[in-house]
Amino acid sequence: MSNTARLREFRLPDVGEGLTEAEILKWYVQPGDPVHDGMVVCEVETAKAAVELPIPYDGVVQEIRFAEGDTVDVGTTIIAVDTEPGAGAPPAPGGGEAAEPAPAAQPGEPGAAAPGDRGPEPAPPKREPVLVGYGVAQSSTRRRPRKPPPGGEAPAASAAIQAELNGRAAAPPAAAAEPAAEVPGARASATAQDAPASVAAGGGRVLAKPPVRKLAKDLGVDLTAVVPTGDGGVITRDDVHAAAAPAPAEPAQTVPAAQPVQTAPAARPAPAAEPAASARETRIPIKGVRKATAQAMVASAFTAPHVTEFVTVDVTRTMKLVRELKEDPDLAGLRINPLLLVAKALLLAIRRNPEVNSAWDEDRQEIVRRHYVNLGIAAATPRGLIVPNIKDAHARSLPELATELAGLVSTAREGKTTPEAMQGGSVTITNVGVFGIDTGTPILNPGEPAILAFGAIRLQPWVHKGKVRPRHVTTLALSFDHRLVDGELGSKVLADVAAVLERPKRLLTWG
């Protein structure tokens, strides 16, 4: 009874709204390491951010189910912990599974079974599962044996497990193929050893998730011919890509083996041509932040009718104010830059034109007027573009806004932005000027009415007080959702931002 409860499985939780999968970035523990409740065991990257996962158990790590870089569905077990490490030998977490449930199966251990205790007739159920995924399995459709050992034959391993479950000793692969047909749910076949590992492990079924099946269909790959490398004989995306890609390795291996061919000048171009052709392209899986950004941009571009307006403005006085604020002892230690004043100017423009701060509710056919501003700042990170936002930015003083901006940028660069920080945005600023770009036509962050692009500040000839003089000039671009924002309203907002940056004392007179 202790063995059935001592091994606890930790499943990948839903760390963000609507997320279905995450990529394991780093493991902080290994099998045999002690863990305690609340201890961070790994870091995963969802479609929105990198998140550290704490484990809710005390004990010793018994098994890690996935390697770094693997993409795991939410709800899948990623690590098993022995909660009673001093109670003798722990249950085997990586054992294979039979086609029907074992009476002594341990909760969370789909492959555990008591050898010799089962006959061909189904065992009567003795316990009922108390949680989803725990307790005795009552279905024969669960996944079968885990990844075959390196160098081993998956069909032979499957046949050996089936023979053991029928009370027989493990036989050589050739002899084990026949008893395999006696197990309920298994398909009798004289050529079981010749089947791919994914088919033999699944009792004649190919084990692959729907996205992987679609990928195989798009690439024209026959899943029954793919050798799986995933846990439990599951075919992964990498397996499909490997099956679809050309295999230059075989010619490269045969050339050294045939020494006369190796020295023949006429035989050299053929092996060398294939690696050169394969090096012309690099395929990168679409996942994580890049996948989420792509989906969000497509949804926004083809849902909200975009309108973009531009204005070029003299920001010489704003640049002078930035220099003065940097020297102010009351702001010592704060990061003062033009983006801070652009953010303050946009918040003031929204306050003067509150109708722009709205959202479109398609389901209820309502316009939602917001009385708060969660100011988003588009940030380029090593994992892709993210848009965290400053909550209740409208109520922040200039020093508070500077502190929040600095913390937001540093957190984003470190890859530690939480999903909560990227939810509920009201309006966004994208600072393309840091890349030397004058302006652009930004796409709306989904659910937001407007986005302001802040271009590079350049010293240019400008007519000032009737004379042409060098002035600091920048170009602003405001994209807005024309369902919510009419041209007049959008123009007023952009004009107000420009007016504040041209004469920053309006922060006082208008505020």
Question: For the purposes of burial, counting CB atoms within 10 Å of the CB of 222, is it exposed (0-12), middle (13-18) or buried (19 or more)?
Answer: exposed
Please give the average per-residue pLDDT across 473-483, as a whole number. Answer: 97
- Over 50: is that where the pLDDT of 412 sits? yes
3-state secondary structure of 340: helix
Tokens describing residue 510:
């208008």
Note the pLDDT of residue 202: 45
The DSSP letter of residue 141 is: -
List phi, psi (to 5°) of 150.
-60, 130
Note the pLDDT of residue 115: 45
Note the pLDDT of residue 246: 60
- At 16, the pLDDT band (50, 70, 90 cuts) reads low
pLDDT in tens, 444-475: 999 999 999 999 999 999 999 999 999 999 99
List phi, psi (to 5°) of 438.
-75, -45
Residue 131 forms beta bridges with which residues?
none
- Over 50: is that where the pLDDT of 255 sits? no
Under a CB-based contact definition with an 8 Å cutoff, are residues 432 and 455 in contact?
yes
| Higher pLDDT, residue 165 or 439 | 439
- Over 90: is that where the pLDDT of 211 sits? no
List phi, psi (to 5°) of 139.
-125, 150
Q: How many residues does the chain have?
A: 511
The amino acid at 502: E
pLDDT in tens, 196-206: 444 444 445 67
- Over 70: is that where the pLDDT of 427 sits? yes
Q: Which residues contact 118 (CB under 8 A, 6 or more apart)?
A: 98, 102, 103, 165, 166, 167
Domain locations in the chain? 2-197, 249-278, 289-509
The amino acid at 382: P
Could you give the CA distance from residue 315 to residue 321 in angstroms, rounded to a whole number? Answer: 10
CA distances from 73 to 95, 157, 210, 484 (A): 21, 27, 12, 37
CA distances from 379 to 217, 334, 412, 417 (A): 36, 19, 7, 11
List phi, psi (to 5°) of 313.
-135, 145
The correct answer on CATH 3.40.50.300 for the domain covering 289-509 is no
- Over 80: is that where the pLDDT of 191 sits? no
Note the pLDDT of residue 501: 98
The DSSP letter of residue 180 is: G
- Over 90: is that where the pLDDT of 368 sits? yes
Residues identified as active-site:
482
- At 231, the pLDDT band (50, 70, 90 cuts) reads confident
Q: Which residues contact 322 (CB under 8 A, 6 or more apart)?
A: 336, 337, 338, 340, 341
Residue 462 forms beta bridges with which residues?
469
**What is the bridge-based pairing of β-strands 34-35 and 21-27?**
unpaired
Cα of first residue to Cα of last residue in the chain, in angstroms, is 70
Give 2-197's CATH code, choosing from 2.40.50.100, 3.50.50.60, 2.40.30.10, 3.40.190.10: 2.40.50.100
- At 325, the pLDDT band (50, 70, 90 cuts) reads very high
pLDDT in tens, 84-134: 887 766 666 554 333 334 444 444 444 444 444 444 444 444 444 333 333
Please give the average per-residue pLDDT across 250-257, as a whole number. Answer: 43
3-state secondary structure of 430: strand
Under a CB-based contact definition with an 8 Å cutoff, are residues 385 and 378 in contact?
yes
Note the pLDDT of residue 374: 97
pLDDT in tens, 295-316: 888 888 888 899 999 999 999 9
- Over 80: is that where the pLDDT of 7 sits? yes
**Chain centroid offset of residue 114 CA:** 39
| Higher pLDDT, residue 379 or 96 | 379
CA distances from 215 to 147, 177, 235, 244, 339 (A): 22, 32, 11, 10, 43
- Residue % of the chain over a pLDDT of 70: 68
Under a CB-based contact definition with an 8 Å cutoff, are residues 72 and 78 in contact?
yes
Tokens describing residue 359:
């959202």
Tokens describing residue 48:
């929105």
Q: Which is nearest to 40 in space by CA: 55, 23, 19?
A: 55
- Over 70: is that where the pLDDT of 437 sits? yes
> Furthest-apart CA pair in the chain: how many Å?
101
Tokens describing residue 203:
């009792």
Please give the average per-residue pLDDT across 257-265, as a whole number. Answer: 40
Note the pLDDT of residue 217: 79
Under a CB-based contact definition with an 8 Å cutoff, are residues 253 and 348 in contact?
no
Note the pLDDT of residue 223: 84
Using H for helix, E for strand and C for coil, what is the string for 222-233? CHHHCCCCCHHH
- Over 60: is that where the pLDDT of 173 sits? no
Under a CB-based contact definition with an 8 Å cutoff, are residues 431 and 467 in contact?
no
Q: Other C-beta atoms within 10 Å of 247: how many?
A: 11
Note the pLDDT of residue 57: 86
| Higher pLDDT, residue 164 or 385 | 385
Angle, CA of 394, 400 and 401, to the nearest 5°: 55
| Higher pLDDT, residue 52 or 463 | 463
Under a CB-based contact definition with an 8 Å cutoff, are residues 373 and 394 in contact?
yes
| Higher pLDDT, residue 57 or 373 | 373
Please give the average per-residue pLDDT across 177-184, as a whole number. Answer: 39
Under a CB-based contact definition with an 8 Å cutoff, are residues 247 and 241 in contact?
no
